[in-house]
Structure 1
Amino acid sequence: MNTQISMKKVVLPVLVTVLSFGLLTGCGNSDTDKSNGEDMSMTGDQTMTQQRMSEGDTEAAMNEPQTFEATLQGSNEVPEVNTDATGDAMVTLNGDSIHVQGQFSGLSSVYTASHIHEGAKGENGGPILTLKPELGNDKMSGMFDGSYQLDDTQIKALKEGSLYINVHSENHKPGEIRGQLTATDDGM
């Protein structure tokens, strides 16, 4: 029992002194530990800031205009169409809208319609947008210059290369010339 009391008298003051000294000095070199603590705090803040910036960059990248192009030819139709008609289109995605510019000419008969269809290269798909080109006097050529809204599913399909432009004529009702919309190098 005397041993326990004398241990308490010796150990307890030593323990209190060590703990007090540790608390007063920051448990070691106060400059090193304090700066490490600040670095850790700053690193946490910096990480949060970098994460916010990264999310902002991702949002900004998603909101930057992206460009897609299509070369319209009869050989792209499914099944292939033998025609001298040609065309091209450039589609700029900005947010949830697209701006379509381009032209076509040389249809074998009078223009009947043009659409953006959903479908992979080599596959036919249903129309999702009706395009409204300004037709030439011959009614077998035209120019695209219009804006259209897309929903999230259509935007995803565009980015995945699953949309195409199809120009229909009287002789080729399913489509005379077609072009798959693909991202340009500067558009992604």
Structure 2
Amino acid sequence: MKKILFLVLTVVAVFFVNPVSADTLYMADISGAQETPDPIDTPAVGLAVLSLNADETQLTVVVNGFNIDATASHIHRAPAGESGPVVFSIGTGYPTPQVRVWAIPADMVEALKNGELYVNLHTTQYPGGEIRGQVSPVQVP
């Protein structure tokens, strides 16, 4: 049942953030296994869908977290397996889904395209992050 709900929310999120087909979509599957330096054993999971507009000037992010009482969520800059600084704040407290839209500078567009951004959800128990997901492009047929 949870997998079906997760899939339905994913599809809804994709259509929500991509009303114009010229936008470029990115996703992050978020889990404790991706946390660094040490993976976190947690039932929490999440999904982020990111949409970069055709002009590459605006980034829309939708984040859903499940089985987590997140205190904050961010987009950080670092390649997979490394920790990096916060570059966008998604929210504090955590009703999900969280939706945010930002003007995105050219250096962050390049980081996005190069796989150097990740989504991190933080909790009281894991202030450095309980679940994390590296952002990667969605392959659309």
Whether 2:114 is the aligned partner of 1:183: answer no
| SS of the residue 2:71 aligns to | strand
Structure 1 unpaired stretches of 5+: 1-63, 137-141
Q: Taking every aligned residue pair, what percent have the same amino acid on both sides?
A: 28
* TM-score normalised by structure 2 residue count: 0.78
Runs of 4+ in 1 over 6 A off after TM superposition: none
Q: How large is the RMSD of aligned CA atoms in angstroms?
A: 1.6
Q: How many residues align?
A: 117
State how far apart, in whole Å, the 2-side matches of 1:70 and 1:153 are: 20
- Structure 2, gaps ≥5 residues long: 1-21
Per-residue CA deviations over 1:125-182 (Å, capped at 9, x if unaligned) read 010000027733xxxxx21222112111100000011100000000000000000000
Return the structure number with greater helix share. Answer: 1
Once residues 51 and 44 of structure 2 are traced to their aligned partners in structure 1, the CA distance between those partners, rounded to angstroms, is 24
Q: Which runs of structure 2 are paired with 1:55-134 in the superposition (5 Å)?
A: 64-78=22-36, 79-94=38-53, 95-107=56-68, 110-132=69-91
The 3-state SS of whatever aligns with 2:52 is strand
1:165 to 2:115 alignment:
no
Q: Which has the higher contact order (CA 8 A, sep 6+)?
A: 2
After TM superposition, the structure 1 = structure 2 runs for residues 21-36 of structure 1, keeping only pairs within 5 Å, are none
- With the length of structure 1 as denominator, give the TM-score of the two structures: 0.59
Amino acid at match of 1:167: L
Deviations 1:16-67 (A, max 9, x none): xxxxxxxxxxxxxxxxxxxxxxxxxxxxxxxxxxxxxxxxxxxxxxxx3110
What's the CA shift for 1:102? Answer: 2.9
8 Å Cα contact 1:74/1:85 also seen in 2: yes
Instruction: Provide the secondary structure at the position in 1 that maps to 2:91.
Output: coil
Distance 1:168 1:65 in 2: 29
What secondary structure, in the 3-state scheme, does the structure 1 residue paired with 2:109 have? helix
